[in-house]
Structure 1
Amino acid sequence: MFKHFSVIETSRLILRQVTPADAKDMFAYLSDKDVVKHMGLEPAQTEEEVLDEIRWYKSIHEEGTGIRWGITLKDSGRVIGSCGFLNMKSKHYRAEVGYELNKDYWGKGIAKEALEAVVKYGFKHFQLERIEALIEPDNVPSIKLVEKLGFTREGLLRHYEFTCGKFDDLYMFSILKGETS
């Protein structure tokens, strides 16, 4: 679907490919139970586990099934989260979007700024028609975020995933290309 890894720039952020050099910054949030509790991941215990995550980002890009940008602040260049697509189905013009952010940056509009840029990028450059977000019902901040961006809640997927030793219900949200400004 795509060979090139584009950089996305917003007013405060640079969204870019992460590298092993970013593992220490990423460990700061991927080891935080509050950050990963809705991601279906256990908190990272070592930087090696973060390097596995970075390798996964690289593999989905190479396979054309996804792309994950590191979220960096323009003034520091440190990776403070990530945002991107997975389960991309070019045949059906759809993908899932996911994101996480270092807790130190919650409540500052950074996740909104990054997600909005990634959604626009997906519609424009990947010719997506539909972008989905699967969110645990008790992840209220994430639900508010996608609703603020115009996503529609379509329904509850009961016991949709098995992660961290339990079955998770997930709300399905989506936004269609024609619903964005």
Structure 2
Amino acid sequence: MIETERLLLRPFQVEDTVPMLRNWASDPEVTKFLTWQPHESAEVTARVLETWVKKYDDPSFYLWAVEWKEIRQPVGSISAVRTDDKTDSATIGYCIGRGWWGKGIVAEALQAVMSFFFEEVGANCVNACHDPQNPNSGKVMRKCGMTYEGTWRAGGVNNQGVCDESWYSILKKEYESFRGQKGVVRQVTNPEEKTGISRLILEALPEWFGIPEAREEYIQDSADQLFFAAFRDDSPAGFLCLKETGRETVELAVMGVRKEYHRLGIGKELFAAAKNCAFRKGYSFIQVKTVQMGRYEEYDQTNMFYQSLGFKEFEVFPSLWGEENPCQIYVMGLGR
């Protein structure tokens, strides 16, 4: 059993029949680029689970249910579809229900399984492949530090027929280096340093902060706010500001990460530091505003990032920022 912040990777049980069928196994969109057909009934799912459960007696059988702690149900699976003792390598495969796409769940599960193979099994290489028509799977592999090795043309077969396979891999020494890149997140208190960092980051992100007047307001306001910065090689990679909006609530006022550091977990590191600080200061809630999902691709990514952190949709103000930019408010309790 492997546990992460949001997931429990555990052996499957026959009792998982109903959630497995409902959450992903019956969905043709989930199986579109896989090698097995959608399950047509609970009987099919039960038979598959019975087969898997029997295989757990084999120590070389690596298959986990990806349980989403929030609902205490499996929402997908991750496994070593092949291991090679001669090369000390493992090939990983995964799938997840459509209702949980875009929340960073697969990356979180893959990182945990990579750690397991490198640290517990003693693997030297972990690899994975995807159909180039399913590019989001490749994004997951890159996010976890894997390197693109090349595309094997007509190298595989899935539910779309004969397909190309784009291969990624990571060696143990690269994994250790990647893990060591987390760097430093610290709270900044000097107003001039705050505005300097926020200016450096926001001016490099015109897709999100392209209106000069609004960007300058964020920069100037940051001087008086709780300020957290992430550093890589002593250079600012990202920052986050909190401001008090009530006796019980702080707002994530602004956040930015330089593009070259996207998908390396820096945003989550920043938020974890800010969240812990807000909790220690006695706040009960954090809220954040962004443009409602479905308007712009960049802001859709922002919405999915906030959802992956655990924020819940609270309310939409259709005209706060103008009719073209409806304001979505998310909220999170701090567990008091």
Normalising by structure 2, report the TM-score.
0.49
1:96 aligns with 2:91: yes
C-alpha spacing 1:136/1:165, structure 2 compared with 1 (3 Å) = closer
**Aligned AA (1:87):** R
1:133 counterpart (128, 150, 156): 128
Normalising by structure 1, report the TM-score.
0.88
1:11 aligns with 2:11: no
Looking at structure 2, the residues matched to 165 and 174 of structure 1 have their Cα atoms a distance apart, in angstroms, of 24
Looking at structure 2, the residues matched to 43 and 142 of structure 1 have their Cα atoms a distance apart, in angstroms, of 19
Shift of 1:65: 4.3
Shift of 1:56: 4.7
Shift of 1:53: 3.1
1:43 counterpart (3, 20, 38): 38
Looking at structure 2, the residues matched to 171 and 64 of structure 1 have their Cα atoms a distance apart, in angstroms, of 29
Shift of 1:157: 1.7
C-alpha spacing 1:138/1:27, structure 2 compared with 1 (3 Å) = same
**Aligned AA (1:23):** T
Counterpart contact for 1:80–1:101, Cα < 8 Å: yes
Q: Which of the two has higher C-alpha Rg?
A: 2
> What is the percent sequence identity of the aligned residues?
29
Unmatched 5+ stretches in structure 2: 180-336
Shift of 1:111: 1.1
Counterpart contact for 2:78–2:94, Cα < 8 Å: yes
Deviation digits for residues 69-119 of structure 1 (CA, Å, limit 9, x no counterpart) = 101122332111111212111232011101111111111111111111111
Counterpart contact for 1:65–1:87, Cα < 8 Å: no
Shift of 1:177: 0.9
C-alpha spacing 1:106/1:75, structure 2 compared with 1 (3 Å) = same
Looking at structure 1, the residues matched to 55 and 84 of structure 2 have their Cα atoms a distance apart, in angstroms, of 12
Total equivalences in the alignment: 175
Q: Secondary structure at the match of 1:33?
A: coil
C-alpha spacing 1:61/1:92, structure 2 compared with 1 (3 Å) = farther
Looking at structure 2, the residues matched to 169 and 64 of structure 1 have their Cα atoms a distance apart, in angstroms, of 31
Unmatched 5+ stretches in structure 1: 1-6
Question: What is the CA RMSD across the aligned residues, in angstroms?
Answer: 1.8
Looking at structure 2, the residues matched to 31 and 74 of structure 1 have their Cα atoms a distance apart, in angstroms, of 22
